[in-house]
Amino acid sequence: MSTSTIADDRIRHVAIDAEYLTVELMDGRRVGTPLAWYPRLAAATPPQLNDGEIISAGRGLHWEQLDEDLSVEGMLRACPAAGYPSASTRQP
């Protein structure tokens, strides 16, 4: 007999370091994306980064001072912010 668990992709915890934005989801998964994907966050000061909040019942992140919103769905789909160079236009 097999058991299945239902994915719960709501955010439980957020961590940001010099290179990555990492979210821990309610179901235990961790999703890390390069901070460089989000130019506003990459250019922000530590106090500005710490001012973010979990929104939309855990399905997104918002930084009022930086006018930045991210969704778990976008992170899971590996979608950088608008304006970040696509894979086809980035230099090796």
Q: Where are the domains of the chain?
A: 11-78
Amino acid at 53: E
Distance CA 65, CA 31 (A): 24
pLDDT given at position 92? 46
pLDDT given at position 1? 58
pLDDT tens for 29-59 read: 999 999 999 999 999 999 999 999 999 999 9
Q: What is the CATH number of domain 11-78?
A: 3.30.2020.40
Confidence label for 4 from pLDDT (cuts 50, 70 and 90)? low
pLDDT tens for 74-92 read: 999 999 988 777 554 444 4
